Chains A and B, each alone.
Chain A
Amino acid sequence: MVELSHDSRPIIGRGPPLAATFITLAIASIALMVTDQRYDQLERVRGWLTAAAYPVQLAVDMPFRAWNWLTGSFADRDRLRQENLEVTARLRLANLQLQRFAAIEEENRRLRDMREKSAGVAERALVSSILNVDLDPFRHRVLLDKGKADGVFKGQAVLDGEGIFGQVWRVNERSAEAILISDAEHAIPVQSNRSGVRTIAVGTGDLNRLVLPFVTVEADLKKGDLLLSTGMGGVFPPGYPVAQVTKVERNSKATFAIVEARPTAALDRDREVLLVWFKAPAPEPPPAAAPAPATTASAATPAPGAAQ
């Protein structure tokens, strides 16, 4: 009986049968996935592959960059002058405040020195551009144009002018992937500016919304409270704004209140972000009067480790 072959490659030199290739490669991909997921041994392989992929990413980014540059260079002279005026005015104001802050900072440093604790503020920052590349519509990741060659490391904090942006998730030779604080797999320990309540802000997958799932009903949080980073876990520098509370719903029967917050960083509008090096604060003694005891214990590790 003659069977029509599905394999229409040339009969001579056609290589191994399709099914054999299929099974080999299928096993190879499964092995790859398992190794990549469980162990770190593929980092180097991924590094090579990423180096090969980087030109593609740059090529995709290029037209957008060129367009921005073009529109930028043909911008109205009037608008530029207007902007210039505004910026000068703002700068003058900022300088004024800065003079005050300089004094306060000096005092603060002296006080901290007296307490013999490292300050935990940013020591060095590197400006990095976000490449115009979509990684995945359902995860909040961005590609930065600085990598291992610039000293970027995994777990490094990423900030923008208005607050905490995210952290570095994967470092390549010349680029790095950052995970935003709004990603559903990200969590960051925070503290209310007003009442000092400590808790964790978890991303939702929505750029404008974080949730605080571990706030007890009695905890002192109000709409409009500014949430600052605590520096616990050593990933983020302490004292930077993270989000502003937008909603607090208390149901006296439930243990936890429903609290939502809006990130202060311009997660969807940023073109440039800051990669920050800072000295992690010395391990603090357990907080004496934290009103939400359930939250403090688990606040020490930000999520990406757990997300794996």
Chain B
Amino acid sequence: MSRGTFGRRILYWVTVAAGLALAIVPLPDWLDPVRPDLALLAVIYWILTSPRISGLGYAWLAGLFLDVLHGMVLGQHALGFLVVAFLTHRLQLRMRMFPIPHQAGAVMLLLALYHFIIFWTDGLTGHGYTGWNRWLPVLSGALLWPLIVAAGDTLTRRSR
């Protein structure tokens, strides 16, 4: 039991860190606005599959690290990650029962909320960018969700 949890914890950190690194990998200009929030998707996935090890504090820390990587106002992504993680925790029992497309829809709502928080704080701190393409990651993240679940399930099966 404890060994399994330990493996999960390592996996949690490796996947979230990979998501954070992928958030700053240079992409071609046309692809850049579509970049999905892989770290956040990883956090949601882990809360759904192993809520016991993926507490709110970790999600918050991951968000804070993203702030640092992006050079944003400290606490902005941290707040976004926190809100999404909290809601996922609350909805976790229900969301786990959803079929995958339905789940992707729920994830899309969570991502929309996350991007709204970022958008809002951006506006408050005077960096408002109001172009429509800042909402593209919501869509790309939801479309990517089935793949995230498939990849995550493969990983956890091996770690068992």
Contacts and interface: CB of A to CB of B under 8 A. Distances in A.
Contact of A8 (B21, B25, B72, B93): B93
Interface string A32-51: 11011100001001100110
Interface in B1-55: 17, 20-21, 24-27, 32-33, 35, 51-52, 55
A101 to B, nearest CB: 38
B78 A29 contact: yes
A185 interface: yes
A33 B122 CA distance: 11
Interface size class of chain B, counting residues whose CB lies under 8 Å from the partner chain: 35 or more
Interface stretch (A57-65, A210-218, A222-230): A57-65
B148 to A, nearest CB: 21
A178 to B, nearest CB: 11
Interface stretch (A77-85, A112-120, A133-141): A133-141
Interface residues of A, number: 51
A9 B50 CA distance: 9
A60 B57 contact: no
Contact of A134 (B32, B65, B73, B126): B32
B65 A53 contact: yes
Contacts of A49: 64-65, 68, 74
A138 B131 contact: yes
Nearest to A137: B32
A177 interface: yes
B82 interface: yes
B158 interface: no
A6 B134 contact: no
Interface stretch (A19-27, A91-99, A239-247): A19-27
B36 to A, nearest CB: 13
A219 B76 CA distance: 44
Contacts of A26: 79, 82-83
A64 B26 contact: yes
B83 to A, nearest CB: 7
Interface string A180-207: 0000110000000000000000000100
Contact of B74 (A32, A177, A307): A32
The 5 closest A-B pairs by CB, nearest first: A32-B75, A29-B75, A29-B79, A137-B32, A33-B75
Given A133-B26, A138-B33, 5 more contacts: A9-B55, A30-B79, A46-B68, A139-B127, A184-B129
11 contacts: A21-B57, A26-B79, A29-B63, A29-B76, A57-B69, A60-B21, A136-B70, A137-B33, A138-B129, A138-B131, A177-B71
